[in-house]
Structure 1
Amino acid sequence: MPVPFETGLPGDARYHELAALFRPIFARIGEDALRRERDGVLGREQLRWLTDAGFARLRTPVALGGFGARLSDLFLLLAELATVDVNLAHIWRNHFSFVEDRVHAGDDPRSAVWLERLGRGEIIGGGWSESGALTQSTIETTITPVDGGWSVDGVKYYSTGSVYATWFTVLAVDPEGTKVIALVRADQPGVEIGDDWDGFGQKLTGSGSVTYRAARVALDDAIPYESRYTYQSQYYQSVLHSLLVGIGRALLRDGVAALRARRRSHDNGTRAEASADPQILEVIGRVSALSFAAESALAQSALQVDRYVDSGSDADRQASWLAVAQAQSIITDAVLESATIVFDALGASGTSETIALDRHWRNARTLSSHNPRIFKLRLAGDALVNDADPTAH
């Protein structure tokens, strides 16, 4: 029986029709993903395969040449891509966030221009967090008017997708202290991209620092932060869930393959062949159950996000936030447990650098550290017990 590869809710023909366009490319990307991760090779060529196939147009409206996909479609497709290459899947997080901005602001004349441009495959990188800031909301990067446009100065870190980016969406403050999103061209003299991410996972996502020194921005390419879409939290967290679900499914795939290839058993085992030992088979069964739980949590929470995107109601806003927070706990726990117990089925051979199973734990632990689940669980509990609005934070 093959290890499941496809995601999507049973009977969702719309999703599977869309996914069928990209699955051959995902399979091709997976052919040398392990080698690229082991050797530290960036997936530039693989990214081009995706953009040539129109992956960047998933959320672009059909009227503008896109697929008009639902957010849930995007999340589930990212999970399929993450199953074969979680680094390549991660670089789309900031890109599709800006696409969401422009889809949300459909009456802004700039939106159609940007959606068409991004649909051609120009990639958006992030410019949000600042490593020296006391809190995430502290912004020291500035944007000032100059010569009929703008100038951006500052340093950003955790700039996912930076080494692949054509543009950066940079969070800055103007002279009045108002938050602004500046669209900064990546290849100009005032931008210095440092591929210096020092985390032990997600090494090939281009998540290091980007320095802006009088980087120029066109007059119309500075957008008020307050105009952004209202479900940013649900979006950003759900993408991380997609990546984790992909890792969970890769753990199952690689665990099954490694156990099938294992020729030795342990003296304390119950069978001469490890693949026939019921205790070892139980471990793989447990990994499969954890993967199923994670994928189910992603799918159900994604539907709640779709519902809010469609309705815009306050009730759906809070329900979608709560669903994503609950999914975060389930998915994080499930994938981290899988990444640990899979080694119980493989013995010392499971630690071989040839199969690099440790990459799954390192990548999952790194992704899970972006937004600690303990805080989300506290807010969820406060909402349920005290009717607090979790989206107010």
Structure 2
Amino acid sequence: MTTLLKDAPAAADAVPGQSGVPAVARPDAPAHIIRDDAEAIAVAEKLAAQFAKGALHRDRERVWPLAELDAFSQSGLWSLNVPKRFGGPDLSYRTIVKVIDIISASDPSLGQIPQNHIGVVAAIRTTSDETQQALLFKQVLEGTRFGNAFSEFGSKRAADFETTFVDDGDHVIVSGRKFYATGALLAHLVPVVALDDEGRAFYAIADRAAPGLTVIDDWSAFGQRTTLSGTVLLDKVRVPKTHVVPGYKGYAEPTADGAIFQIIQVAVDTGIAAAAIADTISFVREKSRAWVDSGLDHAWQDPYVIQAVGALKLRLNATRALLDRAAIAVDEAVANPNGETVATAQITTAEAKILSTEIAIEATNKLFELAGTRSTLAEHGLDRHWRNARTHTLHDPVRWKYAIVGNYYLNGENPPLHAWS
């Protein structure tokens, strides 16, 4: 069970921008190691059933998922892409995205929290030497959670960073300010994107309890309310060089790193859509009334409703098929990284991102149209699906996904190499 290192304010009582949230203790027992794909899916389904029970309450009251997050990271699902030679499961991204889809359908905030953890593990695998991989993967397998402190609120573009570090013997000293720090509140380690004196981006993986590192509970978005995000302040934070990962190398030449960050986002949106469609079907069958002019006894007999639900399920199935296709391409790019395999992974992931965004928005809108006015009552909390979809799908704009897909097919132009492509 997670405990705070010192008493912390409840999320609802925290004063945004005024005080940091204390760090959490590391796990007191090693995390489970998943054996194979089937076990990963079975564990995800079991956890999803548990997480779904409190999802509405956590969203409504913005309750941090303390116990749920512990169960999630200790289950072994956070180490699925650790290589076998370091003791990890080394499962495919086909399986990993299914896990995130399943968890996100139960609670998309919980589904989003490990996104950057998975991406950083992938980056360590791509860019770190054997010694650093052995050190960091050992911690991951023990149950250590990576948060993130990547993006900066006031920069002109998402990839512009003002956070820097300077050399200090066996350590580096990091200073800066971050936002959109998914998972940082309850992480054990916080990878910070910081630039060296040559302008190269590294992941400086700081201890969550390090002096000078402050995480503020000021995430106020109307959706994805419990992703444990907020502002991260870095005031001369010391990070051992053993924990400074040369992330820039993952984009200096073709690797799957960017597509991996992206494909997890696709899986989250797919899970949101799946949950909205499931709740639509349940509500229409159990609570909605037939329209006055239909001459029918039940809403589920309405031919217009039947057609609309069929269209939603068709689009969801198409999204999942394309997500699976993209994951196959990502697996190929991990195994054999080159310009062609990486571009294929990026493009198929972008295509899946387009469909997942569109079905998430459509399904969460259609829910109310098909279920009727009664579905808007606060007691049902169904608005959380739309709020989550609208918030999460803003992560990177779909209009630019269309652009890179079109440019690829029309002009043979490969997508740029970065974490948003």
TM-score over 0.5 (shorter chain): yes
The correspondence of residues 69-88 of structure 1 with structure 2, limited to 5 A, is 69-88=91-110
Q: In structure 2, what is the equivalent of residue 372 of structure 1?
A: 397
The correspondence of residues 266-305 of structure 1 with structure 2, limited to 5 A, is 266-305=291-330
- Paired with 2:238 and 2:99, the residues of 1 have a C-alpha distance of 35
Instruction: Tell me by how many angstroms 1:263 deviates.
Output: 5.3
Number of residue pairs the alignment of both structures matches: 380
Gap runs ≥5 in structure 1: 1-13
Q: Deviations over 1:282-318 (max 9, x none)?
A: 2222222222122112111111111111121321111
Report the more deviating stretch, 105-114 or 149-158. Answer: 105-114
Q: In structure 1, what is the equivalent of residue 13 of structure 2?
A: none
Secondary structure, counterpart of 2:248 in structure 1: helix
Instruction: Tell me by how many angstroms 1:56 deviates.
Output: 1.9
Q: In structure 2, what is the equivalent of residue 317 of structure 1?
A: 342
Q: Deviations over 1:14-59 (max 9, x none)?
A: 6334312332222122222222222211111011112222122211
Secondary structure, counterpart of 1:139 in structure 2: coil
Secondary structure, counterpart of 2:172 in structure 1: strand
The answer to whether the 8 A contact 1:321-1:391 is kept is: no
- Paired with 1:306 and 1:156, the residues of 2 have a C-alpha distance of 31
The correspondence of residues 6-155 of structure 1 with structure 2, limited to 5 A, is 15-105=37-127, 107-146=129-168, 148-155=170-177
Q: Which residue of 182, 200, 203 maps to 1:160?
A: 182
Q: Deviations over 1:192-225 (max 9, x none)?
A: 1112122221110022210011111113222223
The answer to whether residue 408 in structure 2 is matched with residue 383 in structure 1 is yes
- Paired with 1:137 and 1:68, the residues of 2 have a C-alpha distance of 29
Structure 1 residues 362 and 221: CA distance shift in structure 2, 3 A = same
Q: In structure 1, what is the equivalent of residue 249 of structure 2?
A: 227
* Partner AA of 1:37 in structure 2: D
The correspondence of residues 342-381 of structure 1 with structure 2, limited to 5 A, is 342-381=367-406
Instruction: Tell me by how many angstroms 1:389 deviates.
Output: 2.0
Secondary structure, counterpart of 2:206 in structure 1: strand
The answer to whether residue 213 in structure 2 is matched with residue 188 in structure 1 is no
- Paired with 1:200 and 1:164, the residues of 2 have a C-alpha distance of 20
The answer to whether the 8 A contact 1:90-1:243 is kept is: yes
Q: In structure 2, what is the equivalent of residue 11 of structure 1?
A: none
Secondary structure, counterpart of 1:320 in structure 2: helix
The answer to whether the 8 A contact 1:126-1:160 is kept is: yes
The answer to whether the 8 A contact 1:284-1:342 is kept is: no
* Partner AA of 1:219 in structure 2: K
The answer to whether the 8 A contact 1:293-1:331 is kept is: no
The answer to whether the 8 A contact 2:163-2:194 is kept is: yes
- Paired with 1:235 and 1:23, the residues of 2 have a C-alpha distance of 22
The answer to whether the 8 A contact 1:329-1:377 is kept is: yes
* Partner AA of 2:358 in structure 1: D
The answer to whether residue 261 in structure 2 is matched with residue 236 in structure 1 is yes
Root-mean-square deviation over aligned CA pairs: 1.8
Q: In structure 1, what is the equivalent of residue 27 of structure 2?
A: none
Tell me the TM-score normalized by structure 2: 0.86
Structure 1 residues 60 and 313: CA distance shift in structure 2, 3 A = same
The answer to whether the 8 A contact 1:57-1:65 is kept is: no
Report the more deviating stretch, 142-151 or 232-241. Answer: 142-151
Q: Deviations over 1:349-386 (max 9, x none)?
A: 11122221111111111111111111121122112111
Instruction: Tell me by how many angstroms 1:174 deviates.
Output: 2.1
* Partner AA of 2:382 in structure 1: L
- Paired with 2:319 and 2:112, the residues of 1 have a C-alpha distance of 18
Secondary structure, counterpart of 1:193 in structure 2: strand
The answer to whether the 8 A contact 1:51-1:120 is kept is: no
Identity of aligned residues (%): 27
The answer to whether the 8 A contact 2:219-2:225 is kept is: yes
Secondary structure, counterpart of 1:189 in structure 2: coil
